[in-house]
Structure 1
Amino acid sequence: MTRPHATALLAAALASFVLAPTAAAQADSQIKIGLIGPFTGGSADFGNSMRNGVELAVSEINALGGYVGRKFELVVRDDKANPELARQMSEELVKEGVLATIGFCNSGNAVKSLDIYQKARVPLIVPCATSTPITSTIPAAESYIFRTSARDSLQVPFVVNEVVRRGWTRVAVLADSTGYGNAGLEDFTKALAAHKLKPAHVGRFDIGVKDMTDAVKAARDSNAQVLFTITVGPENAVIARAREALGWKVAQVGPWGLTFPTYIDAAKSAAEGTLMAMTFVAEPSNERRATFLSNYRRHHKTDRIAVPIAAAQAYDSTYLLAHALMSIKDRSKLDGPAIKHALENNDRPYYGVVATYKNAFSSTDHDAMTENMLYLGTVRNGVVTFANPDDAKRNLIVQRKVSAAPPATTVR
């Protein structure tokens, strides 16, 4: 059965409101939404894909009338993948009076800024950053932090399970020294321990490294059968090129940072056969995805989405926020606590691009993604696609969230 597209669903939601602006709406005709991410610098391909997804959704929502005649206005801040700058930019967004913020690609940036949104009671929806502590640091009942990306405590065990299924029990890991690398390494060690295994080798490195020959040699000399990497695109490429130069013919595997063009384009032949966790692949596998891909390319005048997962998850995040706003009956109380409550209690399905979201969040769970939404991807002829035929078939049916226990709260 064909499901209605997001714009049609939002139009139906809007129809249930009196479209004449209220006095408050006349006084403030726009809904300010923060958007923060790395729009310049080494993570820009990631950040601009996220930004483009948000901007596409906002253009569609505004074309339908916005929120009761009030258009969405994006207040954009570039954090340049710098945690200290991210915190400064977050403070600026709060001072600008944004009702909610969508953002963060770099986990360290998100973690550095969480308390800014929490103290201001401004909901933050994270469409890209995946470090587990982002949504586990603050108890969900109190938290204003929500996420639509698959946290690393889902992605990492998913890939580790596949590694073990293939008979690779000696696994080396290289993780960067950022907050993302630290938390991801912890998730990786736990995932291996669940199979009663320990890493064959653990290597750490700083972001910006240009030569990983010695680190890769050490991993190779541990007789590892596979190399698990926890870092972003450019550093993944440095690792892959060193691995190829050393003639070490093992698979490089890890979270979905291995889908970035800064990895695939820079690593070239060394990226072939890479395996990673994914939530979305840029193929028109159904009507929703075909429409999204077509609209994205037309709106942004491009034939290529640099990081499709970032764009799709950010697009869905924007619509989830819009649907939450539409469910707030008392329009005179449009504030952070009301939006938080709406996000946690909206049981109307939103038929998104990545997933079908029904009760995407609750007062005990602020992660929209569950393990059934993950697929195993691979790089084939320079393009990310499905590693397993069964996943390609399963992708034809958009997945729904399944009940799962939220991650344990981390006291920090």
Structure 2
Amino acid sequence: MKSRSLWVAAALLMGVAGVWAQPAKPVRIGFICPFTGGSADFGNSARLGAELAVKEINEVGGYLGRPIELVARDDKATPDEGRRISEELVLKEKVDFTIGFCNTGVALKSLDLFQDNKHLLMVPVATGSAVTAKYPPDKSYIFRMSPRDTLQAGFLVDEIVKRGYSRVAIFADNTGYGEGGYKDVERFLAEKNLKPVYVARFDIGVKDLTAQVEAAKAARADVIVGYTVGPELAVLATARAEAQFTGPLYGPWPLSFRTVAERAGAAAEGAMMVQSIIADTSNERRMSFIARLKRHAGSQPIGSLMAAAQTYDAVHLMLRVLFQTKGNTTGDALKQALENLERPYAGVVTTHEKPFSASDHDAFSRNMIWLGVWRRGEVQFYYPEDAKRSAFIRRKSAT
């Protein structure tokens, strides 16, 4: 009887030890971006940023001993594929929350899935204004870590007018991203009593826009604003050179993609774009991140520093939120924590003190963006004084 009791006790102890020996349940993050196709340059950059953040977090113990697991899916920059894998991650994989979307049109196709299931979606890259405007912020589970197009378009129009240009040609693709950007630019021009003198619309994959640029010249345009993604902006830059259009080329952040410099070559020189981050040797935290990112990427190209950095910050910010919710990953708990962040997050793009509120789910305000320019194959600060000020933190403003 005594030996049997000892055996039972030993078995119980072994069972308890077995429970303690089991690996901790991971925090599973859904991740959606294009890893193949025409948008792969910034999709893979975002993936590299997310992977680096997860790697660093896990190296120091994850979330209270729970490893972070990135459940990554390729949306191929296709809205229907984006919807399919969103359903897979939310309904089948039941990930704790999702970080994703590089393309505005792909994101818009799936927003209702996240909203209806009260599943937290953090958008690190897509900038279309409609992404965070579809639902009222106080009810929405959609947050964003990139500067929305409303900010970018207003910023570009102000720059154009400040430099004395008034005859604007707009080149925009036919996607949701191009449509939204075109409307934003048109609206900000109207606020300054200006109208575009020429508008060109085109499909993704266009190979030549020379005839359209020549038409813009005939309309006496003195500046071009391109609203599309990297490969198509390279086509536009090349067409501008072929048509000998001497006015400047402006664009939103995709004009900074490595694709533009690789495909347009010297034709990209001088093109200006909106940036949230520019490589800066005076900023130790930023340069350290870039060095770590390059080591992690190895031979893989980094097509967009912005996409990588914003996604890296998104992952680390969500870890901060997990500590605030004490591991509660329900949509309501994560939403409440994001809207009421208790401690600032010192990111590589900027320091986010109060990035969100119940009335605002966009982390960027207009004072937090820069004007970049292609010079000798690199994106640099257009204004030398911006380079000097870049080490100073630009906190979110009320406007």
Tell me if TM exceeds 0.5.
yes
1:352 aligns with 2:383: no
Q: Is the CA contact (8 Å cut-off) linking 2:97 and 2:329 kept in structure 1?
A: no
In structure 2, relative to structure 1, the CA distance for the partners of 1:26 and 1:365 (3 Å cut) is farther
SS in 2 for 1:288: helix
Q: Quote the residue 2:388 is aligned against.
A: 393
Q: Is the CA contact (8 Å cut-off) linking 1:258 and 1:264 kept in structure 2?
A: no
Distance 1:283 1:392 in 2: 7
> Of 241, 245, 257, which residue of structure 2 is paired with 1:244?
241
Q: Quote the residue 1:29 is aligned against.
A: 25
Deviation per CA, 1:187-226: give whole Å up to 9, x if none: 1011111211111111111111112122222212110110
Distance 2:101 2:44 in 1: 11
Shift of 1:252: 1.0
Distance 2:297 2:169 in 1: 40
> Of 117, 137, 140, which residue of structure 2 is paired with 1:120?
117
Ranges in structure 2 where 5+ consecutive residues have no aligned partner: 1-18
> Of 123, 132, 136, which residue of structure 2 is paired with 1:135?
132
1:369 aligns with 2:364: yes
In structure 2, relative to structure 1, the CA distance for the partners of 1:103 and 1:322 (3 Å cut) is same
Q: Is the CA contact (8 Å cut-off) linking 1:356 and 1:401 kept in structure 2?
A: no
CA RMSD of aligned residues (A): 1.7
Q: Is the CA contact (8 Å cut-off) linking 1:354 and 1:398 kept in structure 2?
A: no
Deviates more, 1:243-252 or 1:45-54: 243-252
In structure 2, relative to structure 1, the CA distance for the partners of 1:79 and 1:203 (3 Å cut) is same
> Of 329, 335, 338, which residue of structure 2 is paired with 1:334?
329
> Of 324, 338, 355, which residue of structure 2 is paired with 1:343?
338
Q: Is the CA contact (8 Å cut-off) linking 1:275 and 1:378 kept in structure 2?
A: yes
SS in 2 for 1:327: helix
Q: Is the CA contact (8 Å cut-off) linking 2:33 and 2:101 kept in structure 1?
A: yes
1:380 aligns with 2:375: yes
Q: Quote the residue 1:227 is aligned against.
A: 224
Distance 1:185 1:156 in 2: 9
Shift of 1:287: 2.1
Q: Quote the residue 1:402 is aligned against.
A: 397
In structure 2, relative to structure 1, the CA distance for the partners of 1:63 and 1:151 (3 Å cut) is same
Letter in 2 for 1:360: P
Letter in 2 for 1:180: Y
1:265 aligns with 2:254: no
1:182 aligns with 2:188: no
Ranges in structure 1 where 5+ consecutive residues have no aligned partner: 1-22, 405-412
Letter in 2 for 1:47: G
In structure 2, relative to structure 1, the CA distance for the partners of 1:271 and 1:26 (3 Å cut) is same
1:195 aligns with 2:195: no
> Of 96, 100, 104, which residue of structure 1 is paired with 2:97?
100
The alignment covers a number of residue pairs equal to: 380
Shift of 1:25: 12
Q: Quote the residue 1:14 is aligned against.
A: none
Letter in 1 for 2:318: L
Deviation per CA, 1:104-136: give whole Å up to 9, x if none: 111100111111111111111111110000001
Distance 1:334 1:306 in 2: 32
Letter in 1 for 2:39: S
1:282 aligns with 2:310: no
SS in 1 for 2:317: helix
SS in 1 for 2:356: coil
In structure 2, relative to structure 1, the CA distance for the partners of 1:25 and 1:139 (3 Å cut) is farther
Shift of 1:335: 1.6
Distance 1:146 1:25 in 2: 37
> Which residues in structure 2 correspond to 1:210-225 (within 5 Å)?
210-225=207-222
In structure 2, relative to structure 1, the CA distance for the partners of 1:25 and 1:361 (3 Å cut) is farther
In structure 2, relative to structure 1, the CA distance for the partners of 1:25 and 1:337 (3 Å cut) is farther
Q: Quote the residue 1:410 is aligned against.
A: none
Q: Quote the residue 1:13 is aligned against.
A: none
Q: Is the CA contact (8 Å cut-off) linking 2:44 and 2:302 kept in structure 1?
A: no
Shift of 1:53: 0.5
> Of 61, 79, 82, which residue of structure 1 is paired with 2:78?
82
1:44 aligns with 2:35: no
SS in 2 for 1:149: coil
Q: TM-score, normalised by structure 2?
A: 0.92
SS in 2 for 1:91: helix
Deviates more, 1:225-234 or 1:279-288: 279-288
SS in 2 for 1:33: strand
Q: Is the CA contact (8 Å cut-off) linking 2:208 and 2:235 kept in structure 1?
A: yes
Distance 1:403 1:97 in 2: 36
Distance 2:248 2:134 in 1: 33
Q: Is the CA contact (8 Å cut-off) linking 1:346 and 1:358 kept in structure 2?
A: yes
Shift of 1:304: 5.9
Shift of 1:26: 6.5
SS in 1 for 2:280: coil
Q: Is the CA contact (8 Å cut-off) linking 1:284 and 1:293 kept in structure 2?
A: no
